[in-house]
Amino acid sequence: MRVIRFIQSDGFPDFLARLSRNNRVLAPVVKPAGKRSVVFEQWREGMPVILEKTTVPPKEAVLPQCETLFVCKKSKNPDNPEDVGMTLGTVPEDASTTLPTLIFACRSCDARGFAVLDRPFLKGPFADPYYKARRARLAVITLTCSTGCNTCFCHWVGGGPSSPEGSDVLMTEIEDGFVLQAMTPAGEALLESSNLADGKDIFPKAEAARKAAWASLLPAPDLKNAQQKVAAVFKNEQFWREHAAACLSCGACTYFCPACYCFNITDEGDAFEADGARRLRSWDNCMSSLFTREASGHNSRAQKAQRLRNRVSHKFSTYPENWGKFSCNGCGRCISNCPVHLDIRDVVVNALAVEDE
């Protein structure tokens, strides 16, 4: 059995302070606003942590909303203006690159999101160096869920409230405290270097809590044919038009998805200026019309139905075709954050029900 520790409910500030000595610890905090929003922020002494599922998933830890890939500077030879020199400038550093990152109180669905991102970024013909650098220094402590919720469906798509994929440590609430179980060598090292008490004796309680959480979930439909079924409705325009009728084409579904990873690359600034020009990589999303607009002006997905089809198909048919798994972890954020309450579950379930032609 791997390393198992126990922490008392009031022990988090000490634990986090210890972890913060050599990590950028990201922990969930509530932002004061009319709408409750919980986000991951770098933990600092005295910051109240809330053990809720966040509104914004932690994928920013490895794939920032915007990052500078490189800075480029140009200079002219005053004697010969045709002689232009070009050099690479330095990319400003931030905590996401200088320190290892530790996500505290992640959820299983979000942790599995990292596994979804790893495949294209690390396991394809090329490994993305920017992603790789952050990912190699990422550790995840996941809080297992004690219940499901009205929008999430992890157990439909191969996960579950205590699924270990993507997590280094699983943390489960039992009465008056939490049991932490290392799932990877990194998780072991992390727990071993802590001063937490051993938890082997009470581990059965954690196991029981996890079982109870599983048992509390509503029955899941069988998605074993989803890949074929979603692929089969690809050409059914009517199907997509109906499902996209209420869609506003915004990015709330994709930008809040732990498993969406599309990006855009743009250049900003002037290489002749003091700060140089910056090549940026920033999030992009397939629900926006600009995503597929070509330089000629032609747009291969000019209609929102085509864009919704892309999102759902990528998650349930094309990504699985390439990698053998769905690229949806059932976190439900695209449902709960959608301004018009569209439900990706409906789309998939309805695709299953369409008779093959």
Partner 1 sequence: MPVMQGKELRIVGFLCNWCSYGGADTAGVARAEQPTDLRIIRVPCSGRVDPLFIVKALLNGADGVLVSGCHPRDCHYSAGNFYARRRLEVLKRFLPVIGIDDARFEYTWVSAAEGQRWQQVVTSFTERVHALGAAPRIEDAKPFLKVADMALKPLRTLGTGKNAPLEKLKEAIKAKLPELECVIGWQKGYDDIHTTPLFMKSAEEVDKLVWGPLNVVNTANYLSQFKGKKVGIVVKGCDSRSVVELLQENLISREAVTIFAMPCEGTLDVARVNEKLGRYTIVNAADSDGAGLLVTVDGKKHSLAMEELAQGKCRCCTHPSAVLTDVLVGDAPQAPAAAPTPPELALLDSMGLEERRGFWRGQMERCLRCYACRNACPMCVCRDHCVSDARDPHWMTQEADVVQKLFFQTIHALHLAGRCTGCGECQRACPVGIPILALRQQTARAVEELFGGYKPGFDPAAVPPLLGYEVEEQNIRETRI
- Give whichever of 30 and 202 is closer to partner 1, judged by the CB atom: 30
Q: How far apart, in whole angstroms, are the C-alpha atoms of residue 39 and residue 65?
A: 14
DSSP secondary structure letters along 96-140: HHHS-EEEEEE-HHHHHHHHHHHIIIIISSS--HHHHHHHHTEEE
Q: Least distance (Å) from partner 1 to the CB of residue 189?
A: 32
Q: How many Cα atoms sit within 13 Å of 168 on the Cβ side?
A: 19
Is position 266 an interface residue for partner 1 (rule: CB under 8 A)?
yes
> Which of the 8 DSSP states describes residue 302?
-
Is position 333 an interface residue for ligand SF4 (rule: CB under 6 A)?
yes
Instruction: Count CB-CB contacts under 10 A for residue 199.
Output: 22
Is position 334 an interface residue for ligand SF4 (rule: CB under 6 A)?
yes
Q: Least distance (Å) from partner 1 to the CB of residue 64?
A: 7
Is position 331 an interface residue for ligand SF4 (rule: CB under 6 A)?
yes
From 11-19, 77-85, 226-234, 277-285, give the range in contact with partner 1 by CB under 8 A: 277-285
DSSP strand pairing (177-182 vs 197-198)? unpaired
Distance between start and end Cα atoms, the chain = 51
Q: Which does 268 bind (CB under 5 to 8 A by kind): partner 1, ligand SF4, none?
A: partner 1
* 3-class SS of residue 214: helix
Output phi, psi for 145, to 5 deg.
-80, 145
Instruction: Count CB-CB contacts under 10 A for residue 176.
Output: 9
- AA letter at 91: V
Q: Least distance (Å) from partner 1 to the CB of residue 53?
A: 8
Q: Which does 300 bind (CB under 5 to 8 A by kind): ligand SF4, partner 1, none?
A: none
Among 315, 319, 348, 351, binds ligand SF4 (CB under 6 A): 315
Among 46, 215, 218, 238, binds partner 1 (CB under 8 A): 218
Rounded alpha-carbon distances, angstroms, from residue 91 to 66, 68, 279: 13, 7, 10
Is position 305 an interface residue for partner 1 (rule: CB under 8 A)?
no
Q: Least distance (Å) from partner 1 to the CB of residue 107?
A: 11
Is position 308 an interface residue for ligand SF4 (rule: CB under 6 A)?
no
Pattern 251-270, ligand SF4, x by CB under 6 A: ------xxx-----------
Which residues here bind partner 1, judged by CB under 8 A? 31-37, 39, 52-53, 55-56, 64-66, 147-151, 216-218, 245-246, 248-252, 254-256, 264, 266, 268, 280, 282-283, 285, 288-290, 302, 335-337, 339-343, 345-346
